[in-house]
Amino acid sequence: MTGIWGIVNVTPDSFSDGGRYFDVDRAVAHGLRLRAAGATVLDVGGESTRPGAERVGSAEEQARVLPVIEQLAAAGAPVSIDTINASTAAAAVRAGARIVNDVSGGLGDPEMRAAVAESGADFAIGHWRGFSADMYANAEYRRVAREVAGELQERMGEAAAAGIAPSRLILDPGIGFAKAGVQNWDVLRGLDEIVALGPRVLIGTSRKRFLAEVLAQADENVSEVRRDLATAVTSALAARAGVWAVRVHDVAATRDALAIAHAWDGV
Protein backbone atom coordinates (compact mmCIF):
# COMPACT_ATOMS: atom_id res chain seq x y z
CA MET A 1 0.00 0.00 0.00
CA THR A 2 1.12 3.54 -0.73
CA GLY A 3 2.24 5.42 2.36
CA ILE A 4 0.75 8.74 3.48
CA TRP A 5 2.87 11.49 4.99
CA GLY A 6 0.83 13.87 7.12
CA ILE A 7 2.00 17.49 7.11
CA VAL A 8 2.60 19.17 10.47
CA ASN A 9 3.56 22.80 9.82
CA VAL A 10 4.84 24.51 12.97
CA THR A 11 5.02 27.86 11.18
CA PRO A 12 3.24 31.21 11.13
CA ASP A 13 3.44 31.60 7.34
CA SER A 14 2.97 28.34 5.44
CA PHE A 15 0.82 28.90 2.37
CA SER A 16 -2.12 26.74 3.46
CA ASP A 17 -2.23 26.40 7.24
CA GLY A 18 0.33 28.90 8.48
CA GLY A 19 -0.26 29.79 12.12
CA ARG A 20 -2.93 27.15 12.65
CA TYR A 21 -0.55 24.85 14.53
CA PHE A 22 2.09 27.39 15.58
CA ASP A 23 2.03 26.09 19.12
CA VAL A 24 3.59 22.91 20.49
CA ASP A 25 0.43 21.47 22.01
CA ARG A 26 -1.68 22.21 18.94
CA ALA A 27 0.96 20.83 16.60
CA VAL A 28 1.30 17.62 18.60
CA ALA A 29 -2.47 17.17 18.80
CA HIS A 30 -2.73 17.75 15.05
CA GLY A 31 0.00 15.21 14.37
CA LEU A 32 -1.70 12.60 16.52
CA ARG A 33 -4.99 13.22 14.69
CA LEU A 34 -3.22 12.70 11.36
CA ARG A 35 -1.67 9.51 12.70
CA ALA A 36 -5.09 8.24 13.83
CA ALA A 37 -6.49 9.07 10.38
CA GLY A 38 -3.92 6.84 8.70
CA ALA A 39 -0.67 8.78 8.29
CA THR A 40 2.33 6.45 8.09
CA VAL A 41 4.83 9.30 8.64
CA LEU A 42 4.39 12.73 10.25
CA ASP A 43 6.43 15.37 8.41
CA VAL A 44 7.24 18.19 10.84
CA GLY A 45 8.51 21.50 9.46
CA GLY A 46 9.43 24.81 11.07
CA GLU A 47 10.24 26.88 7.99
CA SER A 48 7.80 27.66 5.20
CA THR A 49 8.89 26.74 1.67
CA ARG A 50 6.01 28.52 -0.06
CA PRO A 51 6.95 30.77 -2.99
CA GLY A 52 8.46 34.02 -1.71
CA ALA A 53 8.85 32.81 1.89
CA GLU A 54 11.53 34.43 4.01
CA ARG A 55 14.24 32.26 5.56
CA VAL A 56 14.15 31.33 9.26
CA GLY A 57 17.27 30.99 11.41
CA SER A 58 18.16 27.46 12.49
CA ALA A 59 17.83 28.33 16.21
CA GLU A 60 14.26 29.55 15.71
CA GLU A 61 13.45 26.60 13.47
CA GLN A 62 14.67 24.14 16.10
CA ALA A 63 12.78 25.90 18.88
CA ARG A 64 9.62 25.35 16.84
CA VAL A 65 10.07 21.73 15.79
CA LEU A 66 12.13 19.85 18.40
CA PRO A 67 9.51 19.79 21.19
CA VAL A 68 6.92 18.60 18.67
CA ILE A 69 9.17 15.87 17.30
CA GLU A 70 10.07 14.67 20.80
CA GLN A 71 6.44 14.28 21.81
CA LEU A 72 5.28 12.67 18.56
CA ALA A 73 8.20 10.22 18.56
CA ALA A 74 7.54 9.41 22.23
CA ALA A 75 3.95 8.57 21.25
CA GLY A 76 5.26 6.02 18.75
CA ALA A 77 4.74 7.99 15.55
CA PRO A 78 7.32 7.73 12.74
CA VAL A 79 8.53 11.31 12.23
CA SER A 80 10.28 13.12 9.39
CA ILE A 81 11.94 16.52 9.74
CA ASP A 82 11.26 18.90 6.84
CA THR A 83 14.35 21.12 6.76
CA ILE A 84 17.19 22.33 4.57
CA ASN A 85 19.44 23.05 7.58
CA ALA A 86 22.00 20.40 8.56
CA SER A 87 22.06 21.41 12.22
CA THR A 88 18.27 21.13 12.44
CA ALA A 89 18.34 17.76 10.72
CA ALA A 90 20.90 16.39 13.17
CA ALA A 91 19.05 17.78 16.20
CA ALA A 92 15.73 16.41 14.92
CA VAL A 93 17.14 12.91 14.51
CA ARG A 94 18.47 13.07 18.06
CA ALA A 95 14.95 14.10 19.12
CA GLY A 96 13.43 11.04 17.43
CA ALA A 97 13.00 11.77 13.71
CA ARG A 98 13.72 8.84 11.41
CA ILE A 99 13.79 10.68 8.07
CA VAL A 100 15.34 13.95 6.92
CA ASN A 101 13.17 15.53 4.23
CA ASP A 102 15.29 18.15 2.45
CA VAL A 103 13.45 19.90 -0.39
CA SER A 104 16.80 21.19 -1.63
CA GLY A 105 18.24 17.69 -1.98
CA GLY A 106 21.33 18.71 -0.04
CA LEU A 107 22.02 21.84 -2.07
CA GLY A 108 20.72 24.35 0.48
CA ASP A 109 23.31 23.52 3.14
CA PRO A 110 26.70 22.02 2.19
CA GLU A 111 26.82 20.17 5.53
CA MET A 112 23.52 18.35 5.02
CA ARG A 113 24.71 15.17 3.34
CA ALA A 114 27.43 14.57 5.95
CA ALA A 115 24.95 15.21 8.75
CA VAL A 116 22.46 12.72 7.33
CA ALA A 117 25.16 10.13 6.68
CA GLU A 118 26.30 10.32 10.29
CA SER A 119 22.76 10.29 11.69
CA GLY A 120 21.72 7.01 10.07
CA ALA A 121 18.36 8.52 9.07
CA ASP A 122 16.74 8.02 5.69
CA PHE A 123 17.12 10.94 3.31
CA ALA A 124 14.32 12.38 1.17
CA ILE A 125 15.93 14.31 -1.68
CA GLY A 126 13.83 17.01 -3.32
CA HIS A 127 14.35 18.42 -6.81
CA TRP A 128 15.36 22.05 -6.29
CA ARG A 129 16.72 24.99 -8.24
CA GLY A 130 16.93 27.73 -5.64
CA PHE A 131 15.41 29.15 -2.48
CA SER A 132 11.71 29.98 -2.35
CA ALA A 133 12.19 33.72 -2.81
CA ASP A 134 13.43 33.36 -6.39
CA MET A 135 12.98 29.74 -7.45
CA TYR A 136 10.67 30.52 -10.39
CA ALA A 137 13.48 32.41 -12.10
CA ASN A 138 14.99 28.97 -12.75
CA ALA A 139 11.84 27.30 -14.09
CA GLU A 140 13.19 26.76 -17.59
CA TYR A 141 13.16 23.27 -19.09
CA ARG A 142 13.11 21.58 -22.47
CA ARG A 143 11.88 18.18 -21.27
CA VAL A 144 10.98 18.76 -17.67
CA ALA A 145 10.45 15.18 -16.43
CA ARG A 146 13.68 13.99 -18.01
CA GLU A 147 15.66 16.94 -16.63
CA VAL A 148 14.21 16.48 -13.15
CA ALA A 149 15.12 12.78 -13.26
CA GLY A 150 18.64 13.65 -14.39
CA GLU A 151 19.16 16.19 -11.63
CA LEU A 152 17.80 13.78 -9.01
CA GLN A 153 20.27 11.20 -10.30
CA GLU A 154 23.05 13.72 -9.67
CA ARG A 155 21.80 14.22 -6.10
CA MET A 156 21.81 10.42 -5.66
CA GLY A 157 25.45 10.33 -6.68
CA GLU A 158 26.32 13.08 -4.23
CA ALA A 159 24.50 11.23 -1.44
CA ALA A 160 26.38 8.01 -2.27
CA ALA A 161 29.69 9.87 -2.19
CA ALA A 162 28.79 11.10 1.31
CA GLY A 163 28.19 7.55 2.48
CA ILE A 164 24.38 7.38 2.25
CA ALA A 165 23.30 4.00 0.90
CA PRO A 166 20.69 3.91 -1.90
CA SER A 167 18.38 1.97 0.44
CA ARG A 168 18.18 5.09 2.64
CA LEU A 169 17.15 7.40 -0.21
CA ILE A 170 13.71 8.75 -1.12
CA LEU A 171 13.27 10.86 -4.25
CA ASP A 172 10.85 13.78 -4.52
CA PRO A 173 10.52 15.52 -7.91
CA GLY A 174 9.60 18.75 -6.15
CA ILE A 175 6.14 19.54 -7.48
CA GLY A 176 5.73 23.32 -7.32
CA PHE A 177 9.43 23.98 -6.73
CA ALA A 178 10.93 25.93 -9.65
CA LYS A 179 8.11 24.67 -11.83
CA ALA A 180 5.25 26.63 -13.36
CA GLY A 181 1.73 25.18 -13.54
CA VAL A 182 1.92 23.13 -16.72
CA GLN A 183 5.43 21.92 -15.87
CA ASN A 184 4.07 20.20 -12.75
CA TRP A 185 1.62 18.25 -14.88
CA ASP A 186 4.46 17.26 -17.21
CA VAL A 187 6.44 15.91 -14.24
CA LEU A 188 3.43 13.93 -13.00
CA ARG A 189 2.84 12.48 -16.46
CA GLY A 190 6.51 11.50 -16.53
CA LEU A 191 6.67 9.86 -13.10
CA ASP A 192 7.85 6.62 -14.69
CA GLU A 193 11.21 8.31 -15.34
CA ILE A 194 11.54 9.16 -11.63
CA VAL A 195 10.37 5.74 -10.43
CA ALA A 196 12.84 4.06 -12.81
CA LEU A 197 15.77 5.61 -10.92
CA GLY A 198 15.29 2.95 -8.24
CA PRO A 199 14.82 4.54 -4.80
CA ARG A 200 11.42 5.08 -3.20
CA VAL A 201 9.50 8.05 -4.63
CA LEU A 202 7.56 10.63 -2.61
CA ILE A 203 5.03 13.00 -4.23
CA GLY A 204 3.68 16.19 -2.68
CA THR A 205 0.88 17.96 -4.56
CA SER A 206 -1.15 18.95 -1.52
CA ARG A 207 -3.25 22.10 -1.97
CA LYS A 208 -0.73 23.54 -4.41
CA ARG A 209 -1.41 26.39 -6.79
CA PHE A 210 -1.28 24.32 -9.98
CA LEU A 211 -4.30 22.32 -8.76
CA ALA A 212 -6.25 25.47 -7.98
CA GLU A 213 -5.43 26.86 -11.42
CA VAL A 214 -7.25 23.92 -13.00
CA LEU A 215 -10.28 24.28 -10.72
CA ALA A 216 -10.61 28.07 -10.68
CA GLN A 217 -12.98 30.05 -12.84
CA ALA A 218 -12.00 33.68 -13.46
CA ASP A 219 -10.61 35.03 -10.16
CA GLU A 220 -12.35 32.44 -8.01
CA ASN A 221 -10.67 31.55 -4.72
CA VAL A 222 -10.49 27.75 -4.60
CA SER A 223 -11.32 26.42 -1.13
CA GLU A 224 -9.23 24.01 0.93
CA VAL A 225 -11.95 21.38 0.54
CA ARG A 226 -11.71 21.48 -3.24
CA ARG A 227 -7.91 21.55 -3.16
CA ASP A 228 -7.93 18.51 -0.85
CA LEU A 229 -10.18 16.61 -3.25
CA ALA A 230 -7.85 17.47 -6.14
CA THR A 231 -4.90 16.37 -3.99
CA ALA A 232 -6.56 13.04 -3.26
CA VAL A 233 -7.11 12.44 -6.98
CA THR A 234 -3.50 13.25 -7.90
CA SER A 235 -2.29 11.10 -5.01
CA ALA A 236 -4.31 8.13 -6.24
CA LEU A 237 -2.99 8.59 -9.76
CA ALA A 238 0.57 8.88 -8.43
CA ALA A 239 0.08 5.64 -6.51
CA ARG A 240 -0.94 3.90 -9.73
CA ALA A 241 2.25 5.27 -11.30
CA GLY A 242 4.29 3.44 -8.66
CA VAL A 243 5.18 6.07 -6.05
CA TRP A 244 6.02 4.86 -2.56
CA ALA A 245 4.26 7.62 -0.60
CA VAL A 246 2.34 10.88 -0.90
CA ARG A 247 2.65 13.96 1.33
CA VAL A 248 -0.67 15.64 2.19
CA HIS A 249 -2.58 17.91 4.56
CA ASP A 250 -5.83 15.89 4.50
CA VAL A 251 -4.85 12.34 5.40
CA ALA A 252 -8.39 10.93 5.65
CA ALA A 253 -9.44 11.98 2.13
CA THR A 254 -6.20 10.68 0.67
CA ARG A 255 -6.50 7.40 2.57
CA ASP A 256 -9.93 6.84 1.05
CA ALA A 257 -8.78 7.73 -2.46
CA LEU A 258 -5.81 5.38 -2.20
CA ALA A 259 -8.02 2.56 -0.90
CA ILE A 260 -10.30 2.90 -3.92
CA ALA A 261 -7.34 3.04 -6.33
CA HIS A 262 -5.77 -0.05 -4.78
CA ALA A 263 -9.10 -1.89 -4.89
CA TRP A 264 -9.45 -0.97 -8.57
CA ASP A 265 -6.01 -2.44 -9.22
CA GLY A 266 -6.72 -5.53 -7.11
CA VAL A 267 -4.01 -4.70 -4.59
As annotated, the active-site residues are 208, 247
> Residue 4: phi, psi to the nearest 5?
-125, 120
CA distance to 47, 52, 134, 209, 221, per residue, from 105 (Å):
16, 19, 17, 22, 32
Q: How far apart are CA 135 and CA 51, in angstroms?
A: 8
> Residue 15: phi, psi to the nearest 5?
-65, -30
Residue type, 44: V
Q: How far apart are CA 96 and CA 67, in angstroms?
A: 10
Q: How far apart are CA 178 and CA 51, in angstroms?
A: 9
| Segment 103-112 long-range contacts (CB within 8 Å, at least 24 positions apart) | 103/49, 103/128, 103/172, 103/174, 103/177, 104/128, 105/152, 105/155, 106/155, 106/158, 106/159, 107/155, 108/84, 109/84, 109/85, 111/86, 111/87, 112/84, 112/85, 112/86
Helix (H, G, I), strand (E, B) or coil at 247: strand
- Residue closest to 21 by CA, chosen among 35, 33, 34, 11: 11
Q: How far apart are CA 267 and CA 250, in angstroms?
A: 23
